[in-house]
Amino acid sequence: MRIGIPKGLLYCRYHTFFETFFSKLGSEIIVSEQTNKDIMDMGVEFCVDEACLPVKVFHGHAASIKDRCDYLIIPRIMSICKKEYICPKFCGLPEMIIHSIPHVPKVSMEPIYMQNEKEFFKWCFSAGSAVTKNSAKIKKAFISAKKAQKKSRTGIIEPGQKLTVMLAGHPYVIFDEYLNMGIVNKLRAKGIGIITEEFVSDSETCEEVKKLVKKPFWTFQRRIFGAACVLLRHKRIDGIIYLSSFACGIDSVIIDLIRYCIGHFPMLVIKLDEHTGEAGMDTRVEAFIDMLERRVLNENYNPSPWECVFSGQNPV
């Protein structure tokens, strides 16, 4: 049995789990390549036009391996934290793939509720049953996959020469080098330190969002917004670069929420879409870094930008 795993969307975060699980079941695993032009082109060709770029790219990944596997893992991830959800496009992902790409093999359809072990096992049992009828083996594979996932970490934390920025955005945008036009390397080459939301603990972000009138609906909204506020408050960053995919509804909420709460703290929002011309991004990043450098050199310009977080009343 050959199991196909597209290297798109939350693969970057949960690949250890899925790969361990299926290899423990004794199946052969086919993972698509890193995103490249062919995959992007295929994704744009197959996917419905309204979807965001990461969903399109996911279609490309699925299409690139569909003929080489017997069972395609299309994770319908509904939720990864209690009472919080993931982008609604994940709910319909299997249907989108089956509808848009011709001749797809069998696809995993069950929803995934990752925060709840029992619920999560349901998915594993249904997907695992496609490989083996031995339920003890599935249970064992589930346990070792969970263990392996616990040990794996994603995120970027790198010290810089003078400046550090928070690279914010959905993980599938930050960790897809092709999609984000290699921004991590661009910042590295300029000697800029990078930190992502993974390095702020869940409890800290939960503390932070308690100050909001309404509890965040999406996990990434809580994580990114909370982390931005915590990092800023602890003076660990000099600016925020937000990578947003064009047409992402959740980003539009998070960006405005962050903007509202950080006052005059510098934030650069980069909208990503299909274009491959890098001049637009280079100009914005370069100008942003120039601005940060000059701000640091003239610190008395703005006494303490960090104090503007949640200054005064907070009607959000």
Partner 1 sequence: MYALGVDVGSVSTNIVLVDNSGNVVEKLYIRTKGRPMEAVRSGLAVLKEKYDDRQIQSVGVTGSGRMIAAIQIGADIAKNEITAHAVAAIQMDPEVKTVVEIGGQDSKIIIIRNGIVTDFAMNTVCAAGTGSFLDRQAERLEIPIEQFGDYALEAAVPVRIAGRCAVFAESDMIHKQQLGYAAFDIIGGLCEALVRNYLSNVAKGKELLPKVLFQGGVAANKGIHKAFENELQLPVFVPPHYDVMGAIGAAILAREKLEREKKKTMFKGFSVSDAEFKSRSFICSGCPNRCEVVCVLENQKAIGYFGDRCGKYNNRSFSSPAVYV
**Interface with partner 1 (CB under 8 A):** 33-34, 36-39, 178, 181-182, 246, 259, 264, 266, 269, 271, 273, 276, 279-280, 282-284, 286-288, 290-291, 294-295, 298, 301-302
Task: Find the shortest distance in angstroms from Cβ 94 to partner 1.
Answer: 26
Task: Find the shortest distance in angstroms from Cβ 182 to partner 1.
Answer: 6
Indicate the residue among 26 and 191 with the shorter CB distance to partner 1.
191
Task: Find the shortest distance in angstroms from Cβ 207 to partner 1.
Answer: 27
Indicate the residue among 143 and 291 with the shorter CB distance to partner 1.
291
User: Quick one: angle between helices 135-151 and 117-129, nearest 10?
Assistant: 120
Indicate the residue among 93 and 281 with the shorter CB distance to partner 1.
281
269 phi, psi to nearest 5 deg: -105, 125
Task: Find the shortest distance in angstroms from Cβ 282 to partner 1.
Answer: 7
Residue 5, beta-bridge partner list: 31
The residues, ordered by sequence, that sit 6+ positions from 296 with a Cβ below 8 Å of its Cβ are: 162, 163, 238
Contact 289, 163 (CB under 8 A): yes
Indicate the residue among 217 and 260 with the shorter CB distance to partner 1.
260
Indicate the residue among 36 and 116 with the shorter CB distance to partner 1.
36
Indicate the residue among 79 and 180 with the shorter CB distance to partner 1.
180
Contact 241, 167 (CB under 8 A): yes
Task: Find the shortest distance in angstroms from Cβ 236 to partner 1.
Answer: 20
Which segments of 130-267 does DSSP mark as H helices, in order?
135-151, 171-174, 183-189, 202-209, 219-233, 249-262
Task: Find the shortest distance in angstroms from Cβ 276 to partner 1.
Answer: 7
Residue 243, beta-bridge partner list: 270
Contact 4, 71 (CB under 8 A): yes
Task: Find the shortest distance in angstroms from Cβ 205 to partner 1.
Answer: 24
Q: What does the alpha-carbon distance between residue 14 and residue 6 come to, in Å, rounded to a whole number?
A: 12
Q: What does the alpha-carbon distance between residue 222 and residue 214 come to, in Å, rounded to a whole number?
A: 11
Q: What does the alpha-carbon distance between residue 67 and residue 236 come to, in Å, rounded to a whole number?
A: 47
Indicate the residue among 133 and 264 with the shorter CB distance to partner 1.
264
